[in-house]
C-alpha cells in the first residue's frame, strides 16, 4: 500500500527555482531527467516512508519527525503524518541546510 504524497507550497516553489536554474544552466532535457528522478523518489517514499534518514541539521533541533531522501543532487525533506507524506522542501544537497531553515523561518513570518 502506498501513502499519499502532498507537496507543500514551499516545496513547489523550490522545484520551480530548481527547474528554472537547470533549464537556464543546462537544458530542458536535463530538467526532464531531474524531474523523473524526483518522481521516482516520491514513489519510493510513498511505499517506504520511514526509509529516509533524519537530516542531522534538523535532528539537532529535535525535529525527528522530518526525514530526507536524496534525488540526484537534491534533498527532499518530508514529514510522515499518519497515512500522508508532506514534502516540505527540495534543496540542492550542496546548500547549507541551517541557512535554508533560517531563510524559511523568516519567509514564513512575513
pLDDT over 60 (residue 110): no
Question: pTM of the full predicted structure?
Answer: 0.86
Instruction: Show the domains of the chain with their CATH numbers.
Output: 4-108 (3.30.2310.20)
CA end-to-end span of the chain, whole Å? 39
What residue ranges in 8-92 does DSSP mark as E strands? Answer: 66-71, 74-81, 84-92
Give the pLDDT score at 94: 76
pLDDT over 90 (residue 104): no
Paired with 104 in beta bridges are none
Please write the tens of the pLDDT for every residue from 39-90. Answer: 999 999 999 999 899 988 788 878 888 999 999 999 999 999 999 999 999 9
Amino acid at each position: 500500500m502506498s501513502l499519499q504524497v502532498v507537496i507543500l507550497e514551499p516545496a513547489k516553489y523550490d522545484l520551480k527555482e530548481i527547474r528554472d536554474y537547470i533549464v537556464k544552466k543546462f537544458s530542458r532535457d536535463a530538467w526532464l531527467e531531474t524531474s523523473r528522478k524526483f518522481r521516482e523518489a516520491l514513489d519510493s517514499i510513498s511505499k517506504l516512508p520511514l526509509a529516509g534518514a533524519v537530516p542531522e541539521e534538523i535532528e539537532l533541533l529535535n525535529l525527528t519527525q522530518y526525514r530526507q531522501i536524496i534525488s540526484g543532487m537534491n534533498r527532499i525533506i518530508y514529514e510522515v503524518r499518519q497515512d500522508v507524506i508532506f514534502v516540505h522542501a527540495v534543496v540542492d544537497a550542496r546548500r547549507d541546510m541551517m541557512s535554508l531553515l533560517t531563510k524559511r523561518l523568516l519567509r514564513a513570518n512575513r
